[in-house]
Amino acid sequence: MDINTVIADLEAIVGPQHVLRSRAERAVYGYDASVFRGTELLAVVLPTTAEQISRLVVWCRDHGVPYVARGTGTGISGGAIPTHGGVVIELALMNQVLEVDLANRLAVVQPGVVNQDLKRSVQQHGYAYTYVPDPGSQVVSTIGGNVATNAGGMHCLKYGITGNHILGLEMVLPDGDIVTVGGKAVDQPGADLTGLLVGSEGTLGIVTKIIVRLLQMPEAVTTHLALFKTVDDAANTVSGIISSGLLPAAMELLDKSIMQAVDKAVHIGFPAEAGAALIIELDGFSDDMARNADRVAEVCKTHDVISFETEEGIEAGQRLWLSRRAAFGAMARLDTDVYIVDGCVPRTQLPEALRRVTAIAERYDLPIVNVAHAGDGNLHPSIPFSKRRAGDIERVLEAGREILEACVELGGSITGEHGVGMEKQNEMTLMFTPTELQVMRRIKLAHDPDDLCNPKKIFPLSMLAEAAS
């Protein structure tokens, strides 16, 4: 395929200023925040409308060119990496909040809107509403990417993950058709196509518009820092709080290693004797807050809490939340790279899961730090390493696989929010039978028979190779 002809065709669709063609520009879009890398691209295009995306998809279909939709590249599973070259359809310019409808508690946004920017846009209307899902990358990750992976976040314990807050989608199918699924009405007839598409990681089409649910902000918020001698004590406290009848807005766990790294970065002041921390957020009516905080403190005491600190109000609590949101940035102090594992277990299995994570790290002679959305059992064991050291990446990936095996054995999942992408393709066999995987694959091929839309993702490589032979 003549590259000059390709560029001319793409420029005719989106305009010359919206096609990136130099080798350096294309290389930037060949990777994301994961440890994986893609293959060389034909071009990167930046459309501004669903109609342009439709024309791009039709062009790719007619020429047999694979394509991948991409947001800000914060994905950790390699889901938006171009594994087979082709064209990257970059959605950064589709970044408008199109509508905020407080009467119906919804907003309509384009996929390139950054998560935190949506929250700010809603709150600028002067009313106490917000878009709840808040992944750790919310200051840079986009709503489109959150939809693709069905992202979780700090507050999914009480309020649910991204899919619980998506009412409808406009998207471009692999044949170029523009369709709408779901809608502004609460109850929609027919199959739940919105549920099918949320979490499909851009393999069934390209989302161009998203209708999100807005919730009223709580009357009162308190944030608590509970410090424990051991990770076991902190993890057992999580189940204890839930069993007591309380449902915090969030419960986040940090182990000693990441606490030390965070302290060096943002100077929280964790005591040396603390082996783990729980950041617990309570919200609700003002009259309930003191009583519920006392109940949480009592549960913490039964698990040998070292100290229990309270901050009242959202702004005051930001100091404590900074220690959690700074965690991944602080890992840069530990080595040149970090591999973040994303698994999920029932919360009662959290202590055993973390023990197994520690044993796996010791067996592979790897350092490991643990942060977790502990309230819903979503683990993020993180392994500092260096790509420059021979053998590091191989050991890290193998250790990661064993951690996911442990999660499944304990009744959990190979992903809590980061998606499958390239990273966990082969681990899909840990959870699903060949027949179950074939059912999923048939859904993909029914939408995209030529497998051009984010191709060769999610499904095990052996399965894809067998299909190609």
Choose the most confident range, by mean pLDDT, from 19-23, 26-30, 403-407: 403-407
DSSP secondary structure code for residue 126 in this structure: S
Q: Are strands 67-70 and 87-90 parallel, antiparallel or unpaired?
A: parallel
**Dihedral angle over CA of 141, 263, 331, 329, nearest 10:** 20
Portions of the chain given CATH number 3.30.70.2190? 220-328
CA distance 288 to 3: 65
Which band of pLDDT confidence, cut at 50, 70 and 90, is reported for residue 319?
A: confident
**Tokens standing for residue 427:** 């681990």
Question: For position 469, what pLDDT does the model report?
Answer: 63
CA dihedral 373, 375, 381, 384 (to 10 degrees): 40
Check whether 269 has a pLDDT greater than 80. Answer: yes
With beta carbons less than 8 A apart as the criterion, state whether 59 and 40 touch.
no
Q: Choose the CATH number for 97-216 among 3.30.70.1070, 3.90.110.10, 3.30.465.10, 3.40.1360.10.
A: 3.30.465.10
pLDDT in tens, 183-193: 998 888 888 99
Task: Say how many CA atoms lie within 13 Å of 171 toward its Cβ.
Answer: 28
CA atoms within 13 A on the CB side of 49: 6
Q: Where in the chain is the domain with CATH 3.30.70.2740?
A: 334-409
Domain 220-328 fold: Alpha-Beta Plaits (3.30.70)
Q: Identify whether the C-beta of residue 219 lies closer than 8 Å to the C-beta of residue 284.
A: yes
Where are the CATH 3.30.43.10 domain residues in the chain?
A: 3-90
pTM, rounded to two decimals: 0.93
pLDDT at 137 over 90: no
Selected from 3.40.50.300, 2.70.50.60, 1.20.140.10, 3.30.70.2740, the CATH number assigned to the domain covering 334-409 reads 3.30.70.2740
Q: Is the Cβ–Cβ distance between 146 and 114 less than 8 Å? A: no
User: To the nearest 5 percent, what fractions of the chain are helix, strand and coil?
Assistant: 40, 20, 40
The pLDDT, as a whole number, for residue 100 is: 95
Parts of the chain belonging to CATH 3.30.465.10: 97-216
Instruction: Say how far apart CA 8 and CA 63 lie, in whole Å.
Output: 14
Amino acid making up residue 149: T
Q: Does the structure show a pLDDT above 80 at 195?
A: yes
Q: How many CA within 13 A on the CB side of residue 105?
A: 14
> Hey, what amino acid is at 225?
L
Q: What is the pLDDT of residues 405-417, one digit of tens each?
A: 999 999 999 998 9
CATH of segment(s) 3-90: 3.30.43.10
Mean pLDDT of the chain, nearest integer:
93
Q: Give the lowest-confidence range in 69-73, 125-129, 252-256.
A: 125-129
